[in-house]
Amino acid sequence: MEPFAIGTTKASMGIFRRITAALSVHILKNKDAGLDAGYQAAINHCEAVSNGSYGIYSFNALIESCVANLNVGEGIYASGGRVLNCSCQSNGGQGVRVFNGGFVSGCLCSLNARSGIGIGVNSVAYGNDCVGNNTSAVAIEAGIVSFLGPGRIEGNHVGYSTGYGIMVVPGQTGVVVIKNSTAGNTNNVYSIPAGNDVGPWGNAATSTSPWANIYN
């Protein structure tokens, strides 16, 4: 166990396990996950790049202003907790995956092989920028995907060229989708089944609902 790390670089030496606090740690090219955060950890200004599994793996943690790029799995995997103002790009899984009441906001998620952001079970994606994700063209992935409801997708921008911009996986209900903007093929703006609460889709110039989602 390494309860605290600051200003440390590890390369090809195995993961940091059960970190409770980390500040300005750079973790590169480990065989497994880069940083395995302990329960209720605080992770700030860290970099997890080119690791063999997740970049950052956590439970009920606060993860803020981190970079998680080029990892084999998810950039950031967070059960519960908060993921704020992070950059997650070119990962082999989802850029950020949160569930069990997780919250992701202010993040840039781009060019990930699966969804830019995946949310499940009372989680929220709010105010993120997701561009060019789902490069592997997986049918149940999207720019932002709710893989297990309920939850909320609000105020995000999604640019996409593959699959759907925003998706709620078939069979999932109770997801609120409001005030998002998308840029991509207008035939594939969203895939959302019945049983979810979705603001109307349209153009900014003609939409009248304050909950409208804007596509172009």
Q: Nearest 5°: phi and psi at 42?
A: -120, 115
Instruction: Give the DSSP per-residue string, 17-54.
Output: EEEEEEES-EEES-SS-SEEEEEEEEEES-EEES-SS-
Q: Identify the sign of the CA torsion 38, 40, 44, 47.
A: positive
Domain parsing of the chain, residue ranges: 1-72, 103-216
What residue type is 166 in one-letter code? I
Question: Tens-of-pLDDT digits for all 216 residues of the chain?
Answer: 445 555 555 554 445 555 667 878 888 888 888 998 878 899 999 999 999 999 999 999 999 999 999 999 999 999 999 999 999 999 999 999 999 999 999 999 999 999 999 999 999 999 999 999 999 999 999 999 999 999 999 999 999 999 999 999 999 999 999 999 999 999 999 999 999 999 999 999 999 999 999 998
